[in-house]
Structure 1
Amino acid sequence: MTVSQSSFQAALLDPSLAAPNGLCNPDGQQASKRYDVYRNNVAVSLTDALVAGFPVLHKLVGDQFFRAMAGVYLRKHPPKSPLMMYYGEEMPQFLRRFQPAQSLKYLPDIAKLEIAMRRAYHAADATPIDPQRLSEIAPNQLLSSRVRLAPALAIIRSDYPIHAIYLANTTADAPAPIMRPETVLVTRPNLDPEIHLISQASASCIATLMQGSPLGETLTDETLDLGATLSLLLGQSAVTEIY
Structure 2
Amino acid sequence: MSLHTWQRDLQASILTASDQIRQPLNQGSISREREIAVYADGYFLRLAEALQSNYPALFQILGDDDFYSLARAYLAAHPSSQPSIRWFGDQLATFLAQALPYASVPIFAELAAFEWALRHTVDAADAPLLTLEDLQAIPTGDWGQLCFKLHPSLSILSLQWNAPKVWQALMAEDAPPEPQRLPQPCLVWRKPDLTLHWRSAKPPEVHALNLLASGANFSSVCEALMSEDINDVPLRAAGFLRTWIEQGLITAA
TM-score category (smaller protein): 0.7 to 0.9
**129-138 vs 23-32, which moves further:** 23-32
1:94-243 paired onto structure 2 within 5 Å: 94-171=95-172, 176=177, 178-189=180-191, 190-219=193-222, 220=224, 221-223=228-230, 225-241=236-252
Distance 2:91 2:8 in 1: 22
For residue 147 of structure 1, what is the amino acid of its counterpart? F
**95-104 vs 179-188, which moves further:** 95-104
Distance 1:102 1:196 in 2: 25
Distance 1:171 1:137 in 2: 44
For residue 136 of structure 1, what is the amino acid of its counterpart? A
Distance 1:113 1:130 in 2: 28
TM-score of the two chains, using structure 1 as the length reference: 0.84
Note the alpha carbon deviations across 1:42-69, whole angstroms, 9 max, x for none: 1110100100111122223223211111
Deviation at 1:10, TM superposition (A): 4.6
Note the alpha carbon deviations across 1:193-225, whole angstroms, 9 max, x for none: 321211111111011111121112222223373
Distance 1:134 1:174 in 2: 45
Task: Provide the alpha-carbon RMSD of the alignment.
Answer: 2.8
What stretches of structure 2 of length at least 5 have no aligned partner? Answer: none
Note the alpha carbon deviations across 1:112-166, whole angstroms, 9 max, x for none: 2222222222211111122222233344432332212211112111222233333
- Determine if contact 1:187/1:236 at 8 Å carries over to the other structure: no
Which of the pair is proportionally richer in helix? Answer: 2
Deviation at 1:38, TM superposition (A): 1.1
Deviation at 1:109, TM superposition (A): 2.1
**Pair 175,130 (structure 1): closer, same or farther in 2 beyond 3 Å:** farther
**67-76 vs 163-172, which moves further:** 163-172
- Determine if contact 1:186/1:194 at 8 Å carries over to the other structure: yes
- Determine if contact 1:13/1:74 at 8 Å carries over to the other structure: no
For residue 25 of structure 1, what is the amino acid of its counterpart? L
Secondary structure of the corresponding residue to residue 133 of structure 1: helix
Q: What percent of counterpart residues are identical?
A: 23
**230-239 vs 120-129, which moves further:** 230-239
What stretches of structure 1 of length at least 5 have no aligned partner? Answer: none
**181-190 vs 4-13, which moves further:** 4-13
Distance 1:163 1:216 in 2: 33
The number of equivalent residue pairs is 240
Q: Which residue of 2 aligns with 1:25?
A: 25
Secondary structure of the corresponding residue to residue 182 of structure 1: strand
**Pair 173,135 (structure 1): closer, same or farther in 2 beyond 3 Å:** farther
Distance 2:171 2:152 in 1: 25
Secondary structure of the corresponding residue to residue 181 of structure 2: coil
**Pair 232,99 (structure 1): closer, same or farther in 2 beyond 3 Å:** same
- Determine if contact 1:149/1:241 at 8 Å carries over to the other structure: no
Q: Which residue of 2 aligns with 1:12?
A: 14
For residue 118 of structure 1, what is the amino acid of its counterpart? R
**Pair 46,23 (structure 1): closer, same or farther in 2 beyond 3 Å:** farther
